[in-house]
Chains A and B, each alone.
Chain A
Amino acid sequence: MSGALDEEDARALAGREVALIDLLDRLLQGGVVLAGDLVLSIADVDLVRIDLRAVIAPVDAEHPAPLLL
């Protein structure tokens, strides 16, 4: 299969300590949603987003989500 990354990319992907919030952006909003079996409602991690909203993304009157351009 074509498209293997070069060594530098490979190291960058594997060895980097990433910011948790950037990771959660991807893990909670991105990724293929596959319904799990017994933990069906967990696979839909909206649960987590709501409970952790205070830490991850507090929404208040002072910081309404701005329109993205």
Chain B
Amino acid sequence: MTESARRQHKVYAYAVLRPTPEAARAVAVLRGVADEQVGLVETGDLAAAVGPVPAEEFEEGALKAGLEELPRLEALARGHHGVVAGLAPLGAVLPLRLATVYRDEDRVRQILQERRDQFLPLLERLAGHVEWGVKVYTDPTDSLASDAAVAAGATGGEEALSPGRAYLAARRRRRRGAEEAWQTAARTAVRIAEEAGGLAVGRVAHRPQRGELAQMAGGETARGGKSGGETAGGGKPGGENIANDAYLVPADRAEEFRARVLAAAEGQPGVRVEVTGPWAPYSFALPPEPTARPEPV
């Protein structure tokens, strides 16, 4: 890279992997966060997938401002994920955090060398594994239905109550219903964790999902209740997300894992379980620490 090109570009790093011919072929068809051609920076037995990005968009100030706007953040996240997901099928990849930017390729090489002893064992551990996301929700649709059923059954007795007492009784019932739904969901979450633990080699608990964005999420869903069964795609929004876990699973047992988790949620009224993935092992690209659980915000 010439001196002037260096000033105009920075190097965005996506993932660390092995420098194989397959990896070289895979990056050749990938475009990155700035629609740039992705390439490999190699140093001995390690490589990083990187791409040149315009300096003016990826310097600190611009990036900071950009990341605070959801559309820009989404574009960056999807661009980053596109490269990681393109490389993940090779078998072992360490996804880097969003917006990891370097001055030039020499700096990337230097980091690869410095952290070699950390990256190699991690790559070894993650080889041939995929990540599944498992989210457990309370299901308001079901608890409302059971609430209605209880209400219908109790009407006879309540006719005798004064409006105030009837109101309080209904409120107690609703609260009890919500508590029961929460308890059932919590029990189901424990059962799923046990079931999943039999196949997974790692687990990371993410923060339960809240807010606007959570309403738009929807993976593959198993709903409890009489209907039971498995609904592919677009789970209904609503309900409280009480567990949001990531599991590291051997790739050859991935289907079994998914099926077992969905089955563990069958027949539980008031509970909805979503399985997402397979993902590149994003949640496991950190060395295991005593507290793998992220701090709550």
Q: How far is the CA of A18 from the CA of B240 in the complex (A)?
A: 20
Residue in A4, A6, A27 whose Cβ sees the most chain B Cβ within 10 Å: A27
B interface size (C-beta, 8 A)? 87
B206 CB–A CB distance under 8 Å = yes
Q: Which residues of B contact A25 (CB under 8 A)?
A: 133, 206-207, 209, 244, 246, 283
Question: Given the interface contacts A28-B98, A56-B213, does A69 sit within 8 Å of B193 by beta carbon?
Answer: yes
Q: Which residues of A contact B130 (CB under 8 A)?
A: 5, 9, 13
Q: How far is the CA of A68 from the CA of B13 in the complex (A)?
A: 33
Secondary structure dominating the interface of B: mixed
Contact check: which of B100, B115, B213, B285 meets A43 at CB < 8 Å? Answer: B100
B64 CB–A CB distance under 8 Å = yes
Q: Which residues of B contact A42 (CB under 8 A)?
A: 60, 63-64, 67, 99, 101
Interface residues of B (CB under 8 A from A): 10, 13, 16, 18, 20, 58-60, 63-64, 67-68, 70, 73-74, 77-78, 80-81, 85-86, 88-92, 94-103, 107, 111, 115, 119, 122, 127-131, 133, 186, 189-190, 193, 204-214, 216-219, 240, 242-244, 246, 251, 254, 276-280, 282-286, 293-294, 296-297
Query: Top 6 A-B pairs ranked by shortest CB distance?
Result: A3-B128, A26-B282, A10-B89, A19-B217, A31-B97, A30-B282
